[in-house]
Amino acid sequence: KLYSENARNLERINNGDFSGGSVYDNNPSSSRRRNRRAMAGCKVNVAREEASYTILKQQRLLSEKDCNTMVLSGESEFMLKALQNLNCPTCPNGISS
């Protein structure tokens, strides 16, 4: 049994879990949480690629600015769907790369 936080984190990382011990919810219940999670997704290039090409069916990659603008205007569902497609509980930020 591991007693220190550092030892638990190192064991988790050695087992391939790079989540930082966090649990990420890609389908939050409240609108504030949905917008916050979508804004976090806009910062990740892989998530913007998934949202641009798979969800929105665009020919070009959304910039972080365009993505943030869409989320702030109330359109967060496209990014949440992209994050659900890329869901990876053991990856950093819960997003598969």
Query: Which band of pLDDT confidence, cut at 50, 70 and 90, is reported for residue 97?
Result: confident
Q: Is the pLDDT of residue 15 over 90?
A: no
**Residues 14, 84: Cα–Cα separation, whole Å:** 26
pLDDT at 65: 97
Q: What is the pLDDT of residue 49?
A: 95
Global pTM reads: 0.79
- The predicted-structure confidence for 21-71, as pLDDT tens digits, reads as follows 778 888 899 999 999 999 999 999 999 999 999 999 999 999 999 999 999
Q: Are 41 and 79 spatial neighbours (Cβ–Cβ below 8 Å)?
A: yes
Residue 62: what are its φ and ψ, rounded to 5°?
-65, 135
Q: Looking at this protein, which amino acid is placed at residue 14?
A: N
User: Cα separation of 75 and 79, whole Å?
Assistant: 8
HSE-up (13 A, CA, CB side) for residue 4 = 3
pLDDT reported for residue 22: 79
Of residues 71 and 10, which shows the higher confidence score? 71
